[in-house]
């Protein structure tokens, strides 16, 4: 197998088995360098010895690509913070390779690795390596910092460093977007939190959950009779599309404890989703301990709501109204903080409680913003 084919196969397998590593690795440039023993990554490229790459298993090529992906996404120059460049690179390599081994990737013997650094952050490993070097040497000046190196460097070196920082910043933004996407799909590698601050506490995107809830009851379909008139003159009969009216009830808790900023975000998202539906009717109810308004929106309308109330919270008036006035309801989205009086019995339609926190509920599902 040629080296290029081997690399392509390794990238493909990495994308399937480890999407985060595979996506980042696909952006890296691979350069043949037969002056090195095995491989190395500087955060932008992966250099490799052709004989080394030719003779190792495909699974170990995957490891090398994942190693390069991690180094690229960590933006080394930004994270060094005055640490010795070569020592920081080594510490990061130990941490990265330990994490890759933990995820089941097959490590080449030439890769930097030690079990004593298992589970440690790169910063912790750096501190240990620096202390060991200082204990072995009377000349502490051997471990120079980047600030010392820069003071003796030329203006050209500073320009190159600024360009490098800009490149790393752009790559860092790309890596973070991939990280956020994989986090949402619950496909992040094990122990990745050692290297990044993961913001979300859950793995479910509330916008996806909202779309799924709506799509379940919105049906577009195709029929042969009547056919699509566009191509009839050519003697071509194609199916035409039909869209049954999609009816949705949205209730908004107007009690004083409701977060208006979250409410606006929720309504904007529903409004956006409605733009993809051809034929709909939305009944919007505003209620605290009683219903203050009922407004109907149709296809092409924009959702807007004015809150009235600020009293206590009682969910029962909404369910009574739906039962009496909207008997064909299939789905109710209720925006609330979940602090109120629930009906004693569950309705015969789906209920999704849209909330910024989780509480025990007697029926329905919570979509957590």
Q: Which residues pair with 147 in a beta bridge?
A: none
Between 187 and 282, name the one with better pLDDT. 282
Domains of the chain from N-terminus onward: 3-194 (no CATH), 206-368 (3.40.50)
Q: How far apart are CA 243 and CA 217, in angstroms?
A: 12
**The pLDDT of residue 144:** 44
Report the 10 Å Cβ neighbour count for 163: 10
Lowest mean pLDDT among 31-40, 91-100, 181-190: 181-190
**The pLDDT of residue 179:** 62
> What does the pLDDT look like over 141-167, one tens digit per residue?
444 444 444 444 455 554 554 554 445
Between 320 and 124, name the one with better pLDDT. 320
Q: Write out the DSSP string of 145-209.
A: -HHHHHHTS-HHHHHHHHHHHHHHHHHHHHHHHHHHHHHHTT-PPTTGGGTS----SSS--HHHH
**Rg over CA atoms, the chain:** 29
Residue 309 near residue 287 (C-beta atoms within 8 A): yes
pTM to 2 decimals? 0.47
Q: Which residues pair with 280 in a beta bridge?
A: 246
What SS3 class is residue 350?
A: strand
* DSSP 8-state code for residue 245: P
Quick one: 353 exposed, middle or buried, by C-beta within 10 A (0-12, 13-18, 19+)?
buried
Percentage of the chain surpassing pLDDT 90? 30
The two three-digit tokens of residue 223, written as one number: 């029929």
**The pLDDT of residue 145:** 43
């Amino acid at each position: 197998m040629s080296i290029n084919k081997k690399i392509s196969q390794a990238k493909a397998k990495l994308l399937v088995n480890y999407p985060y590593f595979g996506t980042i690795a696909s952006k890296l440039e691979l350069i043949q360098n037969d002056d090195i023993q095995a491989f190395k990554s500087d955060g932008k490229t992966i250099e490799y010895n052709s004989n080394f790459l030719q003779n190792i298993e495909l699974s170990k090529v995957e490891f090398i690509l994942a190693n390069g992906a991690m180094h690229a996404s960590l933006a080394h120059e930004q994270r060094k913070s005055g640490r010795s460049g070569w020592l920081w690179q080594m510490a990061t390599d130990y941490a990265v390779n330990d994490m890759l081994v933990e995820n089941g990737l097959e490590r080449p013997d030439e890769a930097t690795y030690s079990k004593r650094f298992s589970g440690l952050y790169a910063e912790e490993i750096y501190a240990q390596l620096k202390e060991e070097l200082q204990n072995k040497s009377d000349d502490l000046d051997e471990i120079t910092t980047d600030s010392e190196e820069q003071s003796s460097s030329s203006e050209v070196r500073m320009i190159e460093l600024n360009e490098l920082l800009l490149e790393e910043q752009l790559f860092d933004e790309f890596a973070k977007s991939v990280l956020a996407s994989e986090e949402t799909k619950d496909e992040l590698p094990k122990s990745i939190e050692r290297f990044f601050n993961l913001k979300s506490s859950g793995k479910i995107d509330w916008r996806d959950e909202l779309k799924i809830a709506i799509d379940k009851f919105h049906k577009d379909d195709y029929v042969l009779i009547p056919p699509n008139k566009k191509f009839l003159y050519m003697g071509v009969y194609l199916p035409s599309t039909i869209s049954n009216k999609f009816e949705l009830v949205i209730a908004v808790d107007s009690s004083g404890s409701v977060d208006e900023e979250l409410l606006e975000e929720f309504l904007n998202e529903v409004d956006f989703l409605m733009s993809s539906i051809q034929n709909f009717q939305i009944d919007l109810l505003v209620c605290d301990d009683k219903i203050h308004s009922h407004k109907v929106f149709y296809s092409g309308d924009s959702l807007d709501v004015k809150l009235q109330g600020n009293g206590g919270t009682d969910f029962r008036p909404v369910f009574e109204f739906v039962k009496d006035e909207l008997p064909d309801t299939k789905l109710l989205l209720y925006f609330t903080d979940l602090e109120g009086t629930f009906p004693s019995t569950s309705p015969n339609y789906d209920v999704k409680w849209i909330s910024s926190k989780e509480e025990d509920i007697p029926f329905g599902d919570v979509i957590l913003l």
